[in-house]
Every structure is written in structure tokens, then in C-alpha cells.
């Protein structure tokens, strides 16, 4: 019985280590630059994700943003992918393109203020052939992190009459 339980535990641990979450699970927490680390008041948003991407891969993430909040979205990746990871932000209801980092000099960080509560779709694209030679990493796949941060919008103008 102890032998069976030991094998079961080893199998569960092994599968979690070799899963996508095991490979890239907290990549965004470790490698994307947190606004709070620069002395700003940004808070980590639990909608942030990391994943294992192949060249040419497109992945989408749906997230909810709330009225009266400022948001900061950052994309970071392993150096074998270079710095050409692009992302677009769409309104999920209308499919309207709200932001495209390739039209903004490939900036990896985007800050905005939400004037209404709504759902967004963030599309991350790793272009084909964007990798560099690296002795220790596979050039076919690498970790990409999408860090979402938020804070309450600062009051502007006269706060009371």
C-alpha cells in the first residue's frame, strides 16, 4: 500500500513539473517589471498569466477591467524570443482594436484608465523567426509573461465644491 501511494505521489509531482505551469507558471512575476518595484502604487492583478509559446503562436486572454481604475499591462519574454513579441488589446463585445504595441514602437508596457467596466481580449503574438541562438534554451519555444497591474484612479480637478 505504501509503495502504491509513493508511486502515485511521484507521478503527480512529475506531471506538474513537466506541465506548462511547471515550465512557465510564474514567469510574469519573476521577469516582468512590477510598477510597485519602482516606487509606484500599482497592485498585482490575478488575471496575469504566463505560458509556453512556440514561434508563430497566437494566444488570447480575456480579462475584466473596472471603471475608476488605472491599468498597466506588460509583456515580457525569454531572451531567445528577442524583443519582438507583440500584443493587441480588443474590446470583447465590439471586437474594436483599442491598442496595438507594434504601432507604438513595440512598447512592452501600456498604461490606461478605464472609463467603464468591460471585458477585454489581449492577444499575444510571437512572430515566426524571432529567436536568437542560445546554448541553453530551445529556440522553438520559450516563456512569455503577461503582467496586469491596477490601481485606483487618482482624483483630478476639484474634488469638492
Domain borders along the chain are 25-152
The mean pLDDT value for 102-121 works out to: 91
Give residue for cell 463585445: 93
Length of the chain: 161
Global pTM value: 0.74
Per CATH, the architecture of 25-152 is what? Answer: Sandwich (2.60)
Q: Return the percentage of the chain with pLDDT > 90, whole number.
A: 40
On the CB side of 33, how many CA atoms lie within 13 Å of its CA? Answer: 7
The mean pLDDT value for 120-142 works out to: 70
Q: Taking all residues of the chain, what is their mean pLDDT, rounded to a whole number?
A: 79
Q: What angle do CA 91, 87, 142 make, to 5 degrees?
A: 135
DSSP 8-state assignment for residue 157: S
Residue 80: pLDDT band (50, 70, 90) is: low
Give the integer Cα–Cα distance in Å for 40 and 30: 18
Instruction: Please report which helix (H) or strand (E) contains residue 65, including its range.
Output: strand 58-65
Amino acid at each position: 500500500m505504501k509503495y502504491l501511494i509513493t508511486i502515485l505521489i511521484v507521478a503527480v509531482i512529475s506531471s506538474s513539473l513537466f506541465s506548462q505551469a511547471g515550465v512557465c507558471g510564474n514567469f510574469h512575476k519573476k521577469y516582468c517589471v512590477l510598477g510597485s518595484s519602482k516606487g509606484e502604487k500599482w497592485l498585482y492583478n490575478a488575471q496575469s498569466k504566463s505560458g509556453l509559446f512556440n514561434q508563430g503562436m497566437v494566444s488570447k486572454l480575456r480579462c475584466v477591467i473596472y471603471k475608476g481604475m488605472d491599468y498597466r499591462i506588460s509583456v515580457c519574454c525569454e531572451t531567445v524570443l528577442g524583443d519582438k513579441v507583440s500584443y493587441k488589446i480588443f474590446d470583447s463585445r465590439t471586437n474594436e482594436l483599442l491598442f496595438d504595441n507594434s504601432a507604438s514602437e513595440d512598447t512592452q508596457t501600456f498604461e490606461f484608465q478605464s472609463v467603464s467596466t468591460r471585458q477585454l481580449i489581449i492577444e499575444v503574438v510571437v512572430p515566426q523567426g524571432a529567436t536568437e541562438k542560445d546554448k541553453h534554451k530551445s529556440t522553438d519555444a520559450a516563456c512569455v509573461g503577461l503582467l496586469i497591474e491596477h490601481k485606483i484612479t487618482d482624483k483630478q480637478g476639484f474634488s469638492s465644491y
